[in-house]
Amino acid sequence: MEERPAQPAARTVAIRAGSTTYPFTLASGQLDRAVTWREAAGSARTLAVITSRPVAALFPRILQATGTAGPRQLVIEVPDGEAAKTLDVVSRCYQALARARFTRSDLVIALGGGTVTDLAGFVASTWKRGTRLLHAPTTLLALVDASVGGKTGINLADGKNLVGTFHQPERVLADATVLPSLPARELRSGLAEVIKCGFIADPAILNFLPDRVRGPAQQSERYRRLIEMSVRAKAQLLADDVADRGTRRYLNYGHTAGQALETASGFSLRHGEAVALGMVFAARICELITAADGTVTDTRDVLYQVGLPTRLDTAVSFDHVWALMQQDKKVSPGRPSFVLSPRRGTAILVPMPQRRTAQQAFDEVLRPV
């Protein structure tokens, strides 16, 4: 049954990131309105829309919305997925900005998923030592995670996100009407980040997850609420820790093993699927090193409810995953860097588990049966 009220009201979450505050505005259809883009442009004479071809094809009206009287528009098409996050693509973006004589008062618009917001954020933060940035996320993952908090990142052959900056957008235009156009697997992948927020911060999220049988068009109000709840949870954790030294690290729940699994699988696992498995792994570590009981079962039940994986179904070796997990330790040597959620809505930081504990957890809860 359709849950959407006739005219859902716009909702705004104020994102405070240290001394900066910006609006995350969730409003249906706003990406398709010329007035949105005219207002957002402000004094910009040029808008640089960084986007991928599939997204540009899905939202052609956005790219025409400013009209002839508005600012000049430059569309920089980048590859889809992780292939966007390379220094070659960054260099192509710089060349396009240089040709357009793009200034610091012009506006970079990231229109796309998390790889586009990561790339465009990096370009905006480094062009002329920092230019204006707006995020228009078009995947659930980008709506609830990548568009909020100002992390940017580029991959090198040695690993994901090894080069990056913190650069906050001046606003996020969130429009949940993009969700029905997403492939089911992409949507589920985004739900892993929503579930993560439930385990580390707001347990109400876990009682409000969508029904896996019906699509986002039939549960649109539920999705909007989940986006808002997740963004509020994330905003609280980063408000006083933009640089990722304290509570913001809780957002890494499931990611230490998850990112290693994603890479070790040769990216056959999507980010959210790998994070789901990383949460199962973290739940078992939690049972092994604290008195917590039942966290694996609880985690698996929640993931199963939305159709996310709860065990590996491809051959990935523990040695490979373990080697990749060590990269996290190198970011801030000596600091506790592994996140546990001993019960719904709470998170703690502990040192990386010992190799033998990690191997036990991997064998017990992840290895294909």
Name 189's Cβ contacts closer than 8 Å, sequence gap at least 6: 140, 141, 270, 271, 272, 273
The mark string for 264-303 relative to ligand GLY (x by CB under 6 A, - otherwise) is ----------------------------------------
> Based on CB atoms, which residue is closest to ligand GLY, 165 or 360?
165
Backbone dihedral angles phi then psi of residue 31, each to the nearest 5 degrees = -70, -15
Is residue 196 a contact partner of residue 259, using CB atoms and an 8 Å limit?
no
- Smallest distance, ligand GLY to C-beta of residue 38, A: 30
Does the protein bind ligand GLY through residue 149 (CB under 6 A)? yes
Between helix 87-99 and helix 114-126 the angle, nearest 10°, is: 60
Q: Which stretch binds ligand GLY (CB under 6 A): 135-143, 144-152, 212-220, 302-310?
A: 144-152
Q: Could you say which of 194, 205, 206, 251 contacts ligand GLY (CB under 6 A)?
A: 251
The three-state secondary structure class of 52 is strand
Q: Could you say which of 55, 85, 93, 145 contacts ligand GLY (CB under 6 A)?
A: 145
Q: Which stretch binds ligand GLY (CB under 6 A): 194-202, 243-251, 264-272, 321-329?
A: 243-251
Residues 56-95 that bind ligand GLY (CB under 6 A): none
Strands 338-340, 348-350: pairing is antiparallel
Q: How many residues bind ligand GLY (CB under 6 A)?
A: 6
Helix (H) or strand (E) holding 149: none
> Based on CB atoms, which residue is closest to ligand GLY, 149 or 272?
149
Is residue 266 a contact partner of residue 315, using CB atoms and an 8 Å limit?
no
Instruction: Give the E-state strand segments of 43-131 in sequence order.
Output: 46-52, 72-78, 107-112
Q: Determine how many CB atoms are found less than 10 A away from the CB of residue 228.
A: 18
- Smallest distance, ligand GLY to C-beta of residue 193, A: 8
Q: Which stretch binds ligand GLY (CB under 6 A): 9-17, 135-143, 211-219, 244-252?
A: 244-252
- Smallest distance, ligand GLY to C-beta of residue 148, A: 7
- Smallest distance, ligand GLY to C-beta of residue 357, A: 25
- Smallest distance, ligand GLY to C-beta of residue 248, A: 5
Strands 107-112, 132-137: pairing is parallel
Tell me how far apart the alpha carbons of residues 277 and 258 are, in angstroms, rounded to a whole number.
Answer: 6
Q: Which residues bind ligand GLY (CB under 6 A)?
A: 145, 149, 151, 244, 248, 251
